[in-house]
Amino acid sequence: MHSTDELEKRVHEEPGRFRVLTGDRPTGRLHLGHYFGTLHNRVRLQDLGVETFVLIADYQVLTDRDIADDLTGHVEELVLDHLAVGIDPERSTIFAHSAVPALNQLLLPFLSLVSVAELGRNPTVKDEIAHSRQAAVSGLMFTYPVHQAADILFCKGNLVPVGQDQLPHLEITRTVARRFNERYGAGGPVFPVPEALLSTAPLLLGTDGTKMSKSRGNAVALAADADETARLVRGAKTDSRRRITYEPELRPEVSSLVLLAALCEGGDPWRVAEEIGDGGAAALKRRVTEAVNTRLAPIRARRAAYAEDRGLVRDVLKAGNERARAIAEATLKEVRAAMNADYH
């Protein structure tokens, strides 16, 4: 795999050579961790001229729960969050993988290319199984990284912006692409071997000092209003030292708040800490609240305007699904031809 720096350079030089596929499970409203971790980057790549596919991984929700609650609502929230941050449905494709039959059909030949032992070694899946609320490991949980390969390869995505935890999955996608090409690519490779574009964003903690997460109630949602934001930040965990500093190792909670203010302001965390200095936690929290609300104000305004019109959200998804379907069908056709199964 190429380094992030090298990939960034190539993307800037020739954005037209890349196709980005990235996505999320629809499990709730996106928050500031998503914004600085990935959303911001998706919009940046789109605006650089890279063709961008945003996947709503609705089948993947079923990996760790028996029933997906309010899936329709969550899917709509996800579309709204993307429109609000600046994903432009004229240039980018937002779609749900359950709406693209030919994408899902790729799963079958792909499954034949990986061994059960390989699937069992995936550290991210192992971790998810360890933390699962389900009594038994489902076949979907075990195989979802191969489904993810179908998500990426159906559109021949060659650049996948992800966090560290997704690297084992991308490795499986790369293996599937390589093996498919080796086994069936006599007439030329069918799939690109995609590259991971690792997020360089520093990690933000939730307001309780643990991992920021939708389900823990410790995250500021993009869609939250200014008061809700103020309340969450006011309740954030700090420590007993008055003077504010930026020392992520020694003072994770305080430093994460400083970092959040800096990210929102487009500034540098050491500087923010110094400016607050002996103002203490109260001044820090005021600064964070102000910074977050200012940064998110235009995003929230756009989101509210789009939310007025649920028909629009549906239309965006419908158009994205249609586009994804056409691409998936063309790829499936190629796959069948390469597999010498072209009798349909």
What distance separates the 2 farthest-apart alpha carbons in the chain?
A: 75
Q: Which helix (H) or strand (E) covers residue 331, if one does?
A: helix 310-338
Give whichever of 63 and 218 is closer to ligand TRP, judged by the CB atom: 63
Nearest position to ligand TRP, beta carbon: 57
Q: Say how many residues touch ligand TRP, by CB under 6 A.
A: 14
Dihedral of CA 299/304/308/314: which sign? Answer: positive
The correct pick among 160, 221, 281, 296 for binding ligand TRP (CB under 6 A) is 160
Name the one range near ligand TRP by CB under 6 A: 1-9, 11-19, 159-167, 300-308: 159-167
Q: Which lies closer to ligand TRP via its Cβ, residue 109 or residue 269?
A: 109
Measured CA to CA, the distance from residue 272 to residue 264 in angstroms comes to 11
CB 41 to ligand TRP: min, Å: 12
What is the Cα–Cα distance from 218 to 231, expressed in whole angstroms? 11
Using the rule CB under 6 A, is 148 a contact of ligand TRP? yes
Cα→Cα distances 306→30, 79, 85, Å: 16, 10, 12
Q: Which of 71, 162, 167, 307 binds ligand TRP (CB under 6 A)?
A: 162
Give me the residues paired with residue 96 across strands. Answer: 56
Measure the CA–CA gap between 294 and 231, rounded to whole angstroms.
16
55 contributes a contact to ligand TRP by CB under 6 A: yes
Contacts with ligand TRP in 312-341 (CB under 6 A)? none
**CA-to-CA separations, 268 to 136, 261, 265, 298, in angstroms, rounded:** 46, 9, 8, 22
175 sits near ligand TRP (criterion: CB under 6 A): no
Q: Which residue number, 147 or 287, has a Cβ lying nearer to ligand TRP?
A: 147
Touching ligand TRP, residues 214-243 (CB under 6 A): none
Query: Rule CB under 6 A: is residue 152 a binding residue for ligand TRP?
Result: yes
The answer to whether residues 236 and 292 touch, using CB atoms and an 8 Å cutoff, is: no
Q: Least Å distance between CB 163 and ligand TRP?
A: 8
Cβ-contact 233, 220 below 8 angstroms? yes
Compute the least distance from the CB of residue 96 to ligand TRP, in Å. 11
Kindly state the smallest distance separating residue 121's Cβ from ligand TRP, in Å: 17
Nearest CA-CA partner of 96 in 325, 332, 303: 325
Q: Which of these, 145, 131, 151, lies nearest to 57 by C-alpha position? A: 151
Residues 76-115 that bind ligand TRP (CB under 6 A): none
Give me the amino acid identity at 220. Answer: V
Q: Near ligand TRP by CB under 6 A, which window of 53-61, 107-115, 257-265, 298-306? A: 53-61
Q: Cα dist. 197→42, 158, 162, 236, 306 in Å? A: 11, 10, 6, 32, 30
Contact stretch for ligand TRP (CB under 6 A) within 40-48, 68-76, 146-154, 224-232: 146-154
Report the alpha-carbon distance of residue 16 to residue 24 in Å, rounded.
24
57 binding ligand TRP? (CB under 6 A): yes
Neighbouring-strand partners of residue 20:
52, 159
Stretch 17-36: interaction string toward ligand TRP, x if CB under 6 A: ----xxxxx-----------
The footprint of ligand TRP (CB under 6 A) covers 21-25, 55, 57, 60, 148, 151-152, 160, 162, 166
